[in-house]
Chain A
Amino acid sequence: KQEVTQIPAALSVPEGENLVLNCSFTDSAIYNLQWFRQDPGKGLTSLLLIQSSQREQTSGRLNASLDKSSGRSTLYIAASQPGDSATYLCAVTRAGGSEKLVFGKGTKLTVNP
């Protein structure tokens, strides 16, 4: 059974700092991995999707990397801003299986002005 773990559970940084969020998964037979952002009381917003054949994806100040063989992904946020404060979730889909997403519990990020 696939298990997704995110470390740390919470992170507080000053504005302008670069930061890294970590995601690990137990079964490397994934099809793709997605990073989401969730604001309090809101649904999820997809940030980046990495196919299993890819190593990284970039969107603006965000860069996500994937090391499938070691079961790890990182989300790098450059020059953090208070508006980046949210919970960040990673999720994977299984290769050859259902399209369902298996989520981690998320990392709650606070960027202080």
Chain B
Amino acid sequence: GAGVSQTPSNKVTEKGKYVELRCDPISGHTALYWYRQSLGQGPEFLIYFQGTGAADDSGLPNDRFFAVRPEGSVSTLKIQRTERGDSAVYLCASSSPGGRTKQFFGPGTRLTVL
């Protein structure tokens, strides 16, 4: 019955490496969202899932970024060949069925690319 959880809370990696960030939404929430927040900025949309399918992936910056939600619950954001510019806090949110309801956010994963 807890809120949205994200793991890891912090991830430090080297330029060029591959990383996976995990999001566990609130149970029963069918919609799941990924956002990215850089220092001093508001969150920027990356991708949104309705069930297992990506309903809107227009915010993914390039083909190094990919996200999956194979069973309609947990989601993984995958970043290939990381770059220093990918350093940010990656936020996940979920919302209940019915559309356009409140989005509940997780604590985020702070990614640092050295």
Contact = CB atoms under 8 A, between A and B. Distances in A.
Interface residues of A, number: 23
B49 to A, nearest CB: 10
Q: Is the interface of A mostly helix, strand, loop or mixed?
A: strand
Interface string B31-68: 10101000011111100100000011011000000000
Interface string B75-114: 0000000000000000101010001111111111000000
A71 B43 CA distance: 20
Interface residues of B, number: 28
A78 interface: no
B100 A102 contact: no
Given A4-B42, A89-B42, A93-B100, A100 B105 contact: no
Interface of B: 4, 31, 33, 35, 40-45, 48, 55-56, 58-59, 91, 93, 95, 99-108
